[in-house]
A and B are shown apart, each in its own frame.
Chain A
């Protein structure tokens, strides 16, 4: 159940997604409680007791109520409008690309491994038997440019609350700004064949100085 709380502090983008999730969770819970409650109430309140036979008089045969029906069309409409406005703003923040990222990494997915090519820096490669690690500096905006050299894959770091498809011939870019030190698991999230389940990687977020040392050829 603790997974209902999304880790919003791992990246700047995750904070936006986590607060959007909380809103949907509460609205969803409220709708569930109200509608489940109405169904159960109606079923229990107006069940026909076993003691009465089939000869009880008919219940009232009403079949419409225009005011109610217009009301329960407009109310959900209002709710989804509000949800959309909120979600639109969260999404714009998550997908915004800064003009000058601090660091750009070209990520390539292939059957079955990943290549992380730091522009102007090292290239890390690893297959599913020896998963690669993506080292990122904390508090710097990282541009990931994602593609694939064979079939569709998807780059997913659950702790960052984000994934993006790696589609051959259709590169796409997103920014991520890590804010918490740590090592996070990543998976391929798009089925890509028999070793799909094993096509993992990890992301290690380190202080900028440590990152610079690693990039210069030092150890972590």
Chain B
């Protein structure tokens, strides 16, 4: 019997201390992913609390204050502690492998980022243990509501400090990604041969450079207001309540693309594998990513159409324009499916679910980019529906696609496909049952962030349907957890390339050794592993 080859998981030093002190990008990636999934579980339970309270009108399951804490922590955790850091964790694991590098450019900075992320998140949640409870002003924490005159509790301070720490960690990681992709590529890996996922992470990192400093400044100003006698957002002393919104959304809208561009990358990796075709329109996809990133810096005030304080037509026009590169991406994905030889493994199911859900989120996005529609839809459940179709139906489905797709590479065994298919259908049906009715709630006149609503009309029925959908989703997530547990006992070994995939991470063993590659295949296109499997095809001859 031969011993299993040493991998990054089973190095001679595989005790707890070695994980705490690790600077290996794969281990940091796994830590990031695990931590972000734990925050996801907590944020998901909070969402169930919200939906349970809203299952009936005038329900008294939880108090108004608890409800406000729940939606604040739910939004904060999903955005800052799950959807974004999951992408950072995935990129941590994948980027060096995909470009043929032994590690990230700055391994210790990388570890620093992870630990800041972990403790920043715990700081936010620590507010729940204080006398006046956790922060309760929504993930947007609008001033002056979040000023100390109104929000006296320590929970708001812990929220500010925690989000600040996480945002600094995010900036540091973005520096690491850009440096790694720009200068650590293997010989032959030109920029026009890096996988689409790597391109999307470069675009994401550039957005992080531009957007997160504005958030950090916003948070610092609020902290100065609260504790050091500042008046940045206090109109009584010449401050401006509108300033908070400008700084917040100057970060907040690019942030939306920080939350989705990596997942455009994920499904751009997965669809070609299960259609057995090269990605269609590689150049167009890359250019579209940068067009989206560029335009997204000029659309922030579409969150402020109803403020009466911004030039609505300008921001409306810029927002409409974003639909163009996003449409290009959609057509490129369809072009990849076109005339393919398509199979439906779980990662592909989730990728197709992404396409179906995200399309609706994109269409409602164009609708609310029209100020005369936004005047009605803004801050209503229509917005809740829209953003969940983007971040839940979109990003979350891509996250599950990524988990099923790269799980064998990370841990050397596949998640079970049968359970995975059930997980997909529970989540897909549950998601649409939960969130489709919210469009109609919003049009019916239900504002967001309310803990109770009137018993008349169709709102009680719509809310009950939405709540039942959220429970279905919870079952899907539990099934995923069960899948993780049972598949851990599977002993069937996974070879380096269980899916018949394309990019370089599939050229090394599963899980990879600590130094990533013993040998590198020749890199002559954006899918070197495909070229290795099909030596009869000349990559430069493919039109």
Contact = CB atoms under 8 A, between A and B. Distances in A.
Interface of A: 1, 3-4, 6, 16-17, 20-21, 24-25, 28, 31-32, 35-36, 38-39, 42-43, 46-48, 54, 56, 58-65, 68-69, 72-73, 76-77, 80, 83-84, 87-88, 90-91, 94-95, 111, 146, 150-152, 154, 156, 158-159, 161-165, 167-170, 172-174, 185, 187-198
B312 A39 contact: no
Given A20-B370, A170-B242, A191-B449, A72 B331 contact: yes
A83 B450 contact: no
Contacts of B448: 191
Contact of B342 (A46, A64, A170, A191): A46
A87 B363 contact: no
Given A28-B367, A69-B328, A167-B309, A189 B356 contact: no
A46 B537 CA distance: 22
Contact of B241 (A61, A167, A194): A167
B243 to A, nearest CB: 10
A64 to B, nearest CB: 5
A156 B444 CA distance: 12
* 6 closest residue pairs by CB, A with B: A169-B235, A172-B308, A158-B445, A197-B450, A3-B443, A42-B337
A154 B150 contact: no
Contact of A87 (B335, B372, B376): B372
Contacts of A174: 308
A170 B309 contact: yes
15 contacts: A17-B376, A24-B367, A28-B367, A39-B352, A42-B334, A62-B542, A63-B279, A64-B543, A69-B284, A76-B327, A77-B321, A80-B366, A90-B372, A191-B379, A194-B65
Nearest to B150: A151
Nearest to A14: B376
B57 to A, nearest CB: 11
Contact of A91 (B65, B343, B372): B372
A167 B275 CA distance: 52
Contacts of A190: 142, 379
Contacts of B372: 16-17, 20-21, 87, 90-91, 94, 161
Contacts of B451: 197
Q: In this complex, which of B275, B308, B320 has the most chain A Cβ atoms within 10 angstroms of its Cβ?
A: B308
A28 B306 contact: no
Given A63-B278, A154-B379, A73 B339 contact: no
Interface in B454-512: 458, 500
Contacts of A48: 341-343
A17 B312 CA distance: 15
A3 B372 CA distance: 16
Contacts of A90: 370, 372
Q: In this complex, which of A4, A42, A84, A172 has the most chain B Cβ atoms within 10 angstroms of its Cβ?
A: A42
